[in-house]
Amino acid sequence: MTRQRRLVIWRLVDGKPGHEKQSAGLLQGIEALRPVEVYDFDMRFKALFWRQVRRHALRGAPDIPAPDITVGVGHRTHLPTLIARYFCGGKSVVLMKPTLPHRMFDLIFLPQHDRYWRKNNLVETRGVVCPSADRPKAGNSGLILLGGANRHFEWTSADVAAQVAAIARASPHVEWQVCDSRRTPERLREALPAAANLRYRPWQSTSGDFLEKALAAARYVWVTADSASMLYEALSASAQVGVIALDVKRPGRDNKHARGIRLLLSQGHVFSTADGFRLEGSLMLPHFYPENRRCAEIVVERLVSSP
């Protein structure tokens, strides 16, 4: 059997946790398909990156091998991604809409709710790409993930708290952890009901990997409609997922997040509190194929020569 060589991947990061999570998700998917050797370059501190580029360009003695693929996410990484490809070789991959012309990149992954001209190097994703988990679920464990004030949906703490109370009443046998976020108004905690099966976990009290571990274990997850990234993370963790409904701001205007939720509802991937508060029996078994795996398959198929 021919042993596959390691793919050298340069990952350009910009210090934003959400962006790093997306690129980590793609790398997780690629690593499941091929052996990889990953090198991170923080674009807030570019000295290491420019040293490697110069050494490769001048045929010097670089510390780090030339990339087969350079992955970037976030405005700060777009130009360096192209520079790495030009001087060091390999292919360029970006996640989310780049600020430079699309034709300059080898592969671009864009959420399908974004508006763009269709090109061969553009691939639609269902929401954001994120790490996936496929582990046994822990009993009747549940998560309720709360966002907060945002520009797409109306947020009323009393309404959200009432929906959380209804969820707890509808599934009294589920042990729910209620987790807020930086955007959640402080007054929501005061509005939450006292219930034997509700445990409140403010975001300040959790570790950096809390959500990832909690999603991997949770069988049931409710997410407020404004929290798009958490919604797709829950789906990628193979949980049964519900959306806590919020009224849309400016109903007459296009809302890409609401459009994405409608698509998930129509495909049977999520349930909504507009239709009830009990997830058990409301959805078929999770059948959402994680986007990081699908995108990784596309990267390997299109950009990586065999073996």
pLDDT in tens, 130-149: 888 777 777 789 999 999 98
Cα dist from 42 to 14, 15, 47, 195, whole Å? 6, 7, 9, 45
Q: Which domains does the chain show, CATH number per domain?
A: 7-131+292-303 (3.40.50.2000), 141-272 (3.40.50.850)
Taking each helix axis from N to C end, the angle separating 75-88 and 47-57, rounded to the nearest 10 degrees, works out to 20
Give pLDDT tens digits along the chain (307 positions).
Answer: 457 789 999 999 999 988 998 999 999 999 999 999 999 999 999 999 999 999 999 887 778 999 999 999 999 999 999 999 999 999 999 998 898 999 999 999 988 755 556 678 999 888 889 888 777 777 789 999 999 988 889 999 999 999 999 999 999 999 999 999 888 888 888 888 888 999 998 888 888 788 888 998 999 999 999 998 899 999 999 899 999 999 998 776 667 788 889 989 999 999 999 999 999 888 887 788 889 999 999 999 999 976 6
Contacts 24+ apart (CB under 8 A), 88-92: 88/10, 88/52, 88/53, 88/56, 88/57, 89/56, 90/8, 90/10, 90/66, 91/303
Let me know: does 184 contact 147? Beta carbons within 8 Å: yes
Cα dist from 57 to 53, 60, 70, whole Å? 6, 8, 16
Taking the CB of residue 171, how many other CB atoms lie within 10 A of it? 19
* Structure tokens that stand for 201 in this block: 């976990």
Enter the pTM of the model. 0.83
